[in-house]
Amino acid sequence: MPPASIRRIAICTGGGDAPGLNAVIRSVVIAAINRGWECYGIRDGFNGILFPERYLEGGVFRLTLDKVRDIGHLGGTMLGSTNKGNPLHFPTRMPDGTTHEIDRSGEILEYFAKKELDALVSIGGDGSLTIADALHKKGLRVVGVPKTIDNDLDKTMTTFGFDTAVAFATECLDRLHSTAESHQRVMVVEVMGRYAGWIALHSGIAGNAHAILMPEIPFDLDKVTNRIHARDAAGQLYSVVVVAEGAAPRDGHTELQAPAEIGHAERLGGIGERVAKALQERTGKDTRVVVLGHLLRGGSPTAFDRLAAMRFGAAAVRALDEGLSGVMVALAFPNVNYIALEEVAGRMKAVPMDSDTLQTARDLGICLGD
């Protein structure tokens, strides 16, 4: 039997925000309204359903054309987001003061049934798409849209948000070159990306870094030191080193800002500082560290990310219209296609060792710490 036709859909954004979220929302809303459907936005992941009392204007609200007018170029998400609200493992404080993970997905399914919402467009990274897959398996019609600045989602050529993060990091590297050169310093630039080195590698090459350290290649600081010495010997008295937050030395560990806790993944960060100190000791050169952090997540999406976001949003609506569920929209250049959510859930896409981009870095003489 063909799936019932759609009349009402809901949209949610989950996990860390990324430039392009508003462009997806706008695209979904316009494409849906053009089909005669109604659209609703859920606030802060699923919190709008789980904690309606927190929202004066309602945890779930109608998305009209007026609401999404001129938002495509804005950073952030008009719906709000959270990376602490997995409804399948919701951290809940018990009367005895302990915290446990509770499965609250039933409340979401009940809400959709009660409000006669026919389907969900879930925009998010690995965590959100894993939740989307679980909700689909529990009977909800769901289409996922891949988002993350980290570009670490499998089965899609890229996620929206990544291009903007790389463009901004590259601009920062350009700016740091001149001040590094003026002061004959080593500049260490830490970028986000969790356990994937995509942002470090792409911005490092585009921004003419002299060394790029990434999680996929455990690094040896002797190699970086040698590279800096070689540059000094050639009269190039400054160096720029990009370090991914998830990079770790061969004989060491990943630096954490905070360990994982119930309902929240560990927070990476601090490797830039460690690398800078070690390089200063080894080379005797004045060294500074810059942590780009959340700056990479803000701002207006690049034209590439806006277009990707709008194509993903429209394709998500087409998928629902065609009766699909349990799929993620993916970029398979030059087109978009649909991939089963279960093929994406829980998988991470690291930079492959045979990538030509990695080889490009080597061919350009960039030290990768190995």
Do the beta carbons of residue 145 and residue 317 sit within 8 Å? Answer: no
Residue range at the interface with ligand F6P (CB under 6 A); choices 110-118, 179-187, 188-196, 339-347: 188-196
In the bound complex, what is the minimum distance in angstroms from residue 267's beta carbon to ligand F6P? 5
Closer to ligand F6P by Cβ: residue 170 or 225: 170
Contact segment (CB under 6 A) with ligand F6P among 88-96, 147-155, 177-185, 229-237 equals 147-155
The DSSP element (H or E) to which 336 belongs, if any, is: strand 335-340
Is there a contact between 319 and 329 (Cβ–Cβ < 8 Å)? yes
Beta strands (DSSP E) in 147-298 are 186-191, 211-213, 239-244, 256-258, 267-268, 287-291
Q: Binding to ligand F6P by residue 16, rule CB under 6 A? A: yes
Based on CB atoms, which residue is closest to ligand F6P, 230 or 265? Answer: 265
* First-last CA distance in the chain: 57
Residue 291 CA: distances (Å) to CA of 10, 176, 188, 198, 271: 36, 12, 8, 16, 10
Which C-beta is closer to ligand F6P: that of 81 or that of 105?
81
150 forms part of the interface with ligand F6P (CB under 6 A): yes
Site for ligand F6P in 25-64 (CB under 6 A): none
What is the distance between the alpha carbons of residues 166 and 168, in angstroms, rounded to a whole number? 5
Applying CB under 6 A, does 297 fall inside the site for ligand F6P? yes
Asked if 193 touches ligand F6P (CB under 6 A), the answer is yes
Is there a catalytic annotation at residue 152? no
Please state the closest distance from residue 21 (CB atom) to ligand F6P, in A: 12
Please confirm whether the linkage preceding 352 is cis (ω < 30° from 0): no
DSSP for residue 54: G
* Cβ proximity to ligand F6P, 136 vs 194, nearer residue: 194
> Whose Cβ is closer to ligand F6P: residue 141's or residue 147's?
147
Of the candidate residues 61, 74, 83, 318, the single one contacting ligand F6P (CB under 6 A): 83
Q: Smallest distance from the beta carbon of 341 to ligand F6P, in angstroms?
A: 18
Residues 6+ apart with CB under 8 A from 173: 189, 203, 204, 206, 207, 208, 209, 240, 242
C-alpha span between 263 and 355 (Å, rounded): 34
Active-site hit among 44, 126, 133, 150: 150
In the complex with ligand F6P, which residue's Cβ is closer, 113 or 260?
260
Kindly identify the residues of this chain, within the stretch 106-135, that bind ligand F6P according to CB under 6 A.
125
The alpha carbon of 304 is separated from its chain's Cα centroid by a whole number of angstroms, namely 15
Positions in the binding site for ligand F6P (CB under 6 A) = 16, 83, 125, 148-150, 192-194, 245, 267-268, 297
- The catalytic site residues sit at 150
